[in-house]
Amino acid sequence: MSKIIAGNFKSNLNRTQTSQYLQKLDSLVQTSDSKVFIFPSISSMVENNFKHITIGAQNCHYALNGAFTGEVTLEHLNELNINTILIAHSERRNLFGESDEICAKKFEFFKEHNFEIFYCIGENLETRNNKNELEFLANQLSKIDLKYDKLIIAYEPIWAIGTGINASAEQISKSTSYLKSLTNAPIIYGGSVNENNAKEILKISDGILVGSASLNIDKFYQMIKE
């Protein structure tokens, strides 16, 4: 199975920087057999019309359009031919108050519209220290359809995101094999993945979701080559 390599730009890179990056990356990945996704910041979204990269949305409200100040809705994604979305990222949950219920509503809506859905889950340090992480992960998945054939699960332990401390191979394998007992969806890993650890992580996962290290095109391309 080809590996999934996804870059989450979060609120970084402006429109000019994003469009230069995407054009360059699209020409670089011509020979790669990985599936490459980029999630640009919302205001730097571009049409999903690249040959070798799929553009996804980091966030979207679960409506076609309407009175939702500050949100983008399906109509905006449709215009850009975007049919991939990231849901339930821990920053959306923790900084913007998105509960499991809201994430599940988004999931249902975008499932109905046949989107490819990256659904993020991951425990915090306290849960891991209490050895409750597997139960916690199962609970985070309990409100969504794990049989949806366009689902990709991103296992992203919160303590590993943006900290420079990635989960160990053993920790990733334990969570991944448990998740594989719940679903046939690909399980990718995110949390301080970079050009130095990507190769090892890709041996034990179906792919990677990369935050800060994806902002540098040379580093990100190196991960794709791995």
d(CA 180, CA 141): 12
Report how far residue 204's alpha carbon sits from residue 37's, in angstroms, rounded to the nearest whole number.
19
Report 106-135 residues binding ligand PEP (CB under 6 A). none
156 is catalytic: yes
Alpha-carbon span 56 to 4, nearest angstrom: 13
Q: Which of 77, 209, 223, 224 binds ligand PEP (CB under 6 A)?
A: 209
Report the residue number, 113 or 195, with the smaller CB distance to ligand PEP.
Answer: 195
Contacting residue, 4, 5, 7, 8, with ligand PEP by CB under 6 A? 8
Is residue 137 a contact partner of residue 100, using CB atoms and an 8 Å limit?
no
Residue least distant from ligand PEP (Cβ):
211
Q: Which two tokens stand for residue 47?
A: 């049409």
Q: Contact 156/120 with Cβ under 8 angstroms?
A: yes
52, 61, 89, 200: the catalytic one is 89
Of positions 84, 212, 220, 223, contacts ligand PEP by CB under 6 A:
212
Check if 91 is active-site. no
Q: Which amino acid type is present at position 115?
A: F
Contacts with ligand PEP, residue ranges (CB under 6 A): 8, 156, 161-162, 190-193, 209-213
